[in-house]
A and B are shown apart, each in its own frame.
Chain A
Amino acid sequence: MAAPCSLSLPVVALAALALLSPRSSAAGHIEVCTSRFWFNYRHVANTLSVYRSVKRLGIPDSHIVLMLADDMACNARNPKPATVFSHKNMELNVYGDDVEVDYRSYEVTVENFLRVLTGRVPPSTPRSKRLLSDDRSNILIYMTGHGGNGFLKFQDSEEITNIELADAFEQMWQKRRYNELLFIIDTCQGASMYERFYSPNIMALASSQVGEDSLSHQPDPAIGVHLMDRYTFYVLEFLEEINPASQTNMNDLFQVCPKSLCVSTPGHRTDLFQRDPKHVLITDFFGSVRKVEITAETISLQRDLPAVESRYSSQLLQAHDRQSSQFIISLQQQLHHSTGDNWLKLLHKAKSEGGDMEDRMEEEFTEPLQYAEQLPVAQIIHQKPKPKDWHPPGGFILGLWALIIMVFFKTYGIKHMKFIF
C-alpha cells in the first residue's frame, strides 16, 4: 500500500520548491522536486500542491522558483493528460492553468540548485530563474524526492549532501540573502539533511528521522501510482485552513502529522532560529504581507512646462550634419516615449535636407536594435564542452591496477626483493 522511498530504485525524482517570503519585501520560495520517472509521480504532486497553496496565499510567480525534474502532466503514461492529481478520486488537479515551472527536467541538477541558492548564476540567466532576495526576505525551501542518511538524490545520477547544503546556506547568510529561512524536506531519513546547518535564522522541518522511511499516502487505481506522500498530504490539509490574515504559528505546524498518521516521526530544528517559534506566524513564510505607508504629502508642479522632447530633434539634426550613424542608432534606443509619428516626421525632415544622405539614413534606419550581451552565434551552437571536474578513479580502475600490481610482484618474484618483504 504505502511505498517506502528508499527502495533502491534507479529513479531519482527531485522536486524542489523555493519560496521567498520576506516580512516587508517580497517573499521568496524555492520548490524542488528531484525525482524522475513515472512512478515518482507523487513527488511532483507534492511539490505542485505546495506551490498551489503558496500561490493561493498571495505569493506571485516572480517570487517562486519551481524546479521539477520530470514532466508528469504531459507524460505518455498519464491517462489524464495535462493534469496532476493530489487526491484519489481525482478531486484536485494541482497542475492548473497558470503553473510556471522555472527549472524543468534535466535543468534540475545539484549545480543549478546551488547556483540559485548562492546567486552565482551566469549573467545570461533570466530574472525568473534567479532568486532575487535581499536581507529582508524570508525564504521557504521545500524539497522532496528520494534521500538517505545525509544526502538527497538528484535525477538518479548525483546527490547533494547535507554539508553542501549547510555551506550553501552559510554563503547565503554571509551575503545576507535572507532574513529568515524555513527548510522543509519530505524524503526518507529527512532529518539527516538538517543536522549540519550552522548559519543563524534557520528553522527546519523533516518528514522522518534518521533510520526511518517516509511513506506515501494512497495509490490511485485509475492513474496507477501513488499520488502523494503522507507528510506533505497532512501539511497541505493544514495549509488549506490558512488565509493571508490568519494568526496560526509555527508550533501548530510542528504538530502536523503525528506518528499515528504518518508512520514516520516528523522532526524539526529550531535552535538556530532567533525568535520563539510560537511567535512566528505561518504567513511570515507562506504568505507575504507588505509594509505600506499612506502618502501624506505631495509636491506641487507647474501646470504647463515645455516638453523636453525638443532636445532630441536638435540632436538628430546635429547628427545629420556630423554624418555619424552610430549616434542615430543610439537615439533610436533612447526614444522610449517619443511618439512614433514624431520620430518619423523628424526623420523625413532630416532626409529631405540631405541629398546623398538619404540612402545612408535609410539603411541606418533599418539596422536592428542592439541587444546587450548577446553571445556570438558560434558560441551558442557549438558550445565548448565544460572542463570536467576531476573525479577520482572509479572502482573498476582501482581493481584493475590492484590486479596488475599483484601480478607484477608475483612475476618478478617476491623472494628477490628480500629487503622489501
Chain B
Amino acid sequence: MAAAGAAATDLEVVRGKRAALFFAAVAILLGLPLWWKTTETYRAPLPYSQISGLNALQLRLMVPVTVVFTRDSVPLDDQEKLPFTVVHEREIPLKYKMKIKCRFQKAYRRASDHEEDALSLSSVHEAEAMLAEPEKQAEGSLTVYVISEHSSLLPQDTMSYIGPERTAVVRGLMHREAFNIIGRRIIQVAQAMSLTEDVLAAALADHLPEDKWSSDKRRPLKSSLGYEITFSLLNPDPKSHDVHWDIEGAVQRYVKPFLNALSAAGNFSVDSQILYYAMLGVNPRFDPASSSYYLAMHSLPHVINPVESRLGSSAASLYPVLNFLLYVPELAHSPLYIQDKDGAPVAANAFHSPRWGGIMIYNVDPKIYNASNLPVRVEVNMVQVMEVFLAQLRLLFGIAQPQVPPKCLLSRPKSEGLMTWELDQLLWARSVENLATATTTLTSLAQLLGKISNIVIKDDVASEVYRAVAAVQKAAEELALGHLSSAFVASQEAVTSSERAFFDPSLLHLLYFPDDQKFAIYIPLFLPMAVPILLSLVKIFLETHKSWKKSEKKD
C-alpha cells in the first residue's frame, strides 16, 4: 500500500515538475515577446539609409549654353571645327563639407542664314526682335551669339551684351586661341546670367553658419508655395487729406504682369486696404534748414511693430504675407522725408524690412493746399508708387542687381520689370534651397525618432517620407541634367511632403512615463505570476543539483 502510495506521489512529483517547467516555458517564450510586441509604439518602416544618404548628396547644377558663331567671328580653320561641345565645370565651396558643382555645357555651332541676317542689322534691339523665339528656349538654358570683332551691332568698346530674354551677344576674335578666349568671355557672361556664388549663398544662407555671410545674404524670403501681397494705404489725417488711389488699375497694369512673370515661383494673391487714423509709432523731428520733417534711420525699426497690429495680416492665409504700406503724412508733419545715416534725404522716400515688406512715404504736393478748403482731395500718382513697391518686391525676393562682367552692356529692363534669366536665377536658387530644406527636415525627423522613443509613425506619414526622399533624388537628377522647370517642381514636392510628414499632428509623442511609474504599473500584474514560477524553477534546479551530487557520491 505504502509502495503504491509512494509510486503515486512520485508520479505526481514528476508531473508537477513538468507542469512547472511548462508554465515557465510558456511564460518566457510566449508571454515575454507578446508583451514586448504589444506595448511598443507603432512605427511604420522608414528609409533611414536613404535619408542618411541624402546628406551626402552632391548637387550638380548644369546650365546648357548654345553658342552660335557667325561667319566672320573666328578664323576660318577654327570655323571648320564646328560643331562640337565643351564642358566647363566649377566647384563652388559653400561649407566645409558642402560643395556644389556648376557645369556649363557649351554646344558650339554655326549660325543659320536667318540668324546671320538678324545679326547684321544695325542695332541689338532689332536683332533681338528678329531672333526672338522665347517659347523655344527651355528654362535654365542660354543662347550666346558670337559676332565679328568689328561688327557695329554693339557700341564700340562694348565686348558683350546681356539681353532681357535668355540671349546674349559676345564679340568674336581673329586669333589663334580664339576658342579659348571667347570661351572664357562666354563663361563670364553665362555666369552673370545664371549661377554665381552669391545667388547660391543667398539661397542657402539659412543652412550655413551665421558668421560666414553678411546680412545682405539674409534678405530674401524663404521659399514657399505661395505668397500673399497686401497693399495698404495709411491715412492718419482724413480731416485734411481725402486720399484716393487707383490701386486696382495699378495692380492690373503693373503688379499683375510682374507676378505673372514670377508665376513659376509660386502662387500669388494680392489684396489691398485703406486704414484711417493709423499713426506711425515714431514722432518725426523738425529740420529747420529745409523746413520739413524727417525720420532718422535709427528710428525706422520702431515704426513697423505698432502699425503691424492694425494691418490684419493674421486674418490672411497661411502663406507668408508681404505688406506694402503707403503712408500719407498728416498736415502737421508734412512734408516728411526719410534720412539715411549720412543725414541726406532718401530719393525714393521708402524703406523695407527683409521678410516683411516695405513702407513708402508719399508727400502731398503743397500747391494743392492753396486752392481749396480742407479736406483736400489727393490723387496718388500710382506709377511713382508702384516703381518703388516693385523695386522693393524684387529686393525682397532676392533678385538683386546682377554682377555684369567688365565692358558689358545690360539691356534695358522689360516692361514687366523682370528679365527671363532673372527668373531662372530665382528658380535655381529656390530649387537648391528647397532641396536643402527637405534634406534637413528628413534628417531631423530620423534623428528625433532615434532620440525620443515614444513617437508613433503611421503608415501615411511613412508614405509621405518615401515620397519626399524620391522627390529629392529626382530633383537632384533633373538639376544634373539641366531641366530646370521639372527640377523646381520636384524640389517643391520634396519640401511639401517632408514638411507634411514632420508636422503631421499624429506625431505628437505619447505622454511620457517615468521609470518608477512603469515599475509601479507592471509589478502588481507580473509579480504574482512570476514569483511561483521562479520559485518552482529554483526548487527544481536545487533538487536536480542535489541528485547529481548524490549520484556522484554513490560512484
The 8 A CB mask of A271-289 against B (1 = contact, 0 = none) is: 0000000000000000011
Verify B452–A120 contact, CB threshold 8 A: no
* Contact residues, B501-555 vs A (CB, 8 A): 502-505, 507-512, 514, 521, 524-525, 528, 532-533, 535-536, 539-540
The interface residues of chain B lying within 8 Å CB-to-CB of A289 are 301-302
CB distance from B455 to the nearest CB of A (A): 9
Verify A298–B383 contact, CB threshold 8 A: no
Write the chain A residue with the least CB distance to B452. A167
Q: Cβ of B249 < 8 Å from any Cβ of A?
A: yes
The interface residues of chain A lying within 8 Å CB-to-CB of B20 are 419-420
Task: Among A24, A58, A293, point to the contact of B305 (Cβ < 8 A).
Answer: A58
Stretch at the interface among B51-59, B106-114, B191-199, B389-397: B389-397
Verify B539–A419 contact, CB threshold 8 A: yes
The interface residues of chain A lying within 8 Å CB-to-CB of B249 are 307
Stretch at the interface among B64-72, B161-169, B344-352, B484-492: B344-352
Verify B508–A419 contact, CB threshold 8 A: no
Task: Among A119, A164, A294, A392, point to the contact of B297 (Cβ < 8 A).
Answer: A294
CB distance from A4 to the nearest CB of B (A): 25
Q: A174-B448, A291-B215 are in contact. Are A25 and B355 (CB under 8 A)?
A: yes
Verify A419–B254 contact, CB threshold 8 A: no
Bound complex: CA A338 to CA B249 (Å): 9
Q: Cβ of A91 < 8 Å from any Cβ of B?
A: no
* Contact residues, A159-187 vs B (CB, 8 A): 161, 163-164, 167, 170-171, 174-176
The interface residues of chain A lying within 8 Å CB-to-CB of B355 are 25
Verify A389–B270 contact, CB threshold 8 A: no
Q: Cβ of A405 < 8 Å from any Cβ of B?
A: yes
CB distance from A384 to the nearest CB of B (A): 15
Q: Cβ of B407 < 8 Å from any Cβ of A?
A: no
Q: Cβ of A377 < 8 Å from any Cβ of B?
A: no
Q: Cβ of B354 < 8 Å from any Cβ of A?
A: yes
* Contact residues, B334-354 vs A (CB, 8 A): 338, 340, 346-348, 350-354
Write the chain A residue with the least CB distance to B303. A292
Verify B447–A291 contact, CB threshold 8 A: no
Task: Among A120, A296, A336, point to the contact of B507 (Cβ < 8 A).
Answer: A120
The interface residues of chain A lying within 8 Å CB-to-CB of B535 are 420-421
Bound complex: CA A417 to CA B23 (Å): 13
The interface residues of chain B lying within 8 Å CB-to-CB of A421 are 532, 535
Q: A58-B302, A292-B304 are in contact. Are A161 and B388 (CB under 8 A)?
A: no
Verify B271–A336 contact, CB threshold 8 A: yes
Residue with the greatest number of chain B CB neighbours at <10 A, chosen from A26, A122, A339:
A26
The 8 A CB mask of A325-349 against B (1 = contact, 0 = none) is: 0000000000011110000000000
Verify B269–A336 contact, CB threshold 8 A: yes
The interface residues of chain B lying within 8 Å CB-to-CB of A337 are 247-248, 251-252, 270, 272
The 8 A CB mask of B421-458 against A (1 = contact, 0 = none) is: 00000000000000000001100110110011000000
* Contact residues, A98-128 vs B (CB, 8 A): 110-111, 114-115, 118-122, 127-128
Q: Cβ of B398 < 8 Å from any Cβ of A?
A: no
Q: Is the interface of B mostly helix, strand, loop or mixed?
A: helix
The interface residues of chain B lying within 8 Å CB-to-CB of A301 are 254, 383, 386-387, 390, 415, 417
Verify B351–A299 contact, CB threshold 8 A: no
Q: Cβ of B313 < 8 Å from any Cβ of A?
A: yes
CB distance from B377 to the nearest CB of A (A): 20
Q: Cβ of A244 < 8 Å from any Cβ of B?
A: yes
Q: A62-B313, A122-B505, A175-B502 are in contact. Are A299 and B390 (CB under 8 A)?
A: yes
Q: Cβ of B318 < 8 Å from any Cβ of A?
A: yes
The interface residues of chain A lying within 8 Å CB-to-CB of B503 are 118-120
Q: A25-B356, A301-B417 are in contact. Are A292 and B318 (CB under 8 A)?
A: no
The 8 A CB mask of B105-124 against A (1 = contact, 0 = none) is: 00000000000000000000
CB distance from A383 to the nearest CB of B (A): 15
Verify B447–A167 contact, CB threshold 8 A: no
Q: Cβ of B93 < 8 Å from any Cβ of A?
A: no
Q: A115-B505, A294-B297, A295-B346 are in contact. Are A336 and B254 (CB under 8 A)?
A: no
CB distance from B358 to the nearest CB of A (A): 6
Q: Cβ of A300 < 8 Å from any Cβ of B?
A: yes
Write the chain B residue with the least CB distance to A310. B252
* Contact residues, B223-266 vs A (CB, 8 A): 247-249, 251-254, 256-257, 260
The interface residues of chain A lying within 8 Å CB-to-CB of B401 are 297
CB distance from A146 to the nearest CB of B (A): 19
Bound complex: CA A163 to CA B271 (Å): 45
CB distance from A309 to the nearest CB of B (A): 5
Q: A60-B305, A339-B248 are in contact. Are A307 and B505 (CB under 8 A)?
A: no
The interface residues of chain B lying within 8 Å CB-to-CB of A24 are 218, 354
The interface residues of chain B lying within 8 Å CB-to-CB of A291 are 215, 301, 353-354
Task: Among B219, B257, B387, B502, point to the contact of A300 (Cβ < 8 A).
Answer: B387
Verify A164–B524 contact, CB threshold 8 A: no
Task: Among B313, B348, B448, B539, point to the contact of A170 (Cβ < 8 A).
Answer: B448
Task: Among B256, B358, B391, B505, point to the contact of A299 (Cβ < 8 A).
Answer: B391
The interface residues of chain B lying within 8 Å CB-to-CB of A305 are 253-254, 257, 415
Write the chain B residue with the least CB distance to A392. B521
Verify A306–B448 contact, CB threshold 8 A: no
The interface residues of chain B lying within 8 Å CB-to-CB of A261 are none
Write the chain B residue with the least CB distance to A398. B524
Verify B391–A298 contact, CB threshold 8 A: yes
Verify B353–A292 contact, CB threshold 8 A: yes
Q: A298-B391, A300-B413, A419-B540 are in contact. Are A164 and B511 (CB under 8 A)?
A: yes
Verify B256–A308 contact, CB threshold 8 A: yes
* Contact residues, B140-193 vs A (CB, 8 A): none
The interface residues of chain B lying within 8 Å CB-to-CB of A417 are 16, 532
Q: Cβ of A31 < 8 Å from any Cβ of B?
A: no
The interface residues of chain A lying within 8 Å CB-to-CB of B222 are 134
The interface residues of chain A lying within 8 Å CB-to-CB of B388 are 295, 298
Bound complex: CA A132 to CA B316 (Å): 13
Q: Cβ of B92 < 8 Å from any Cβ of A?
A: no
Q: A297-B391, A420-B535, A421-B532 are in contact. Are A288 and B305 (CB under 8 A)?
A: yes
User: 5 additional contacts, CB 8 Å, given A58-B281, A308-B257, A398-B525?
Assistant: A25-B355, A115-B505, A294-B297, A296-B346, A402-B524
**Those 5 A-B pairs whose CB atoms lie nearest each other, nearest first:** A60-B309, A174-B444, A419-B16, A392-B521, A62-B314
12 contacts between A and B (CB under 8 A): A25-B354, A60-B308, A115-B505, A119-B503, A127-B318, A135-B206, A174-B445, A294-B350, A295-B346, A299-B390, A337-B251, A419-B19
- What residues of chain B have their CB less than 8 Å away from a CB belonging to chain A? 13, 16-17, 19-20, 206, 215, 218-219, 222, 247-249, 251-254, 256-257, 260, 269-272, 281, 297, 300-302, 304-306, 308-309, 313-316, 318, 338, 340, 346-348, 350-356, 358, 360, 383, 386-388, 390-392, 394-395, 401, 413, 415, 417, 440-441, 444-445, 447-448, 451-452, 502-505, 507-512, 514, 521, 524-525, 528, 532-533, 535-536, 539-540
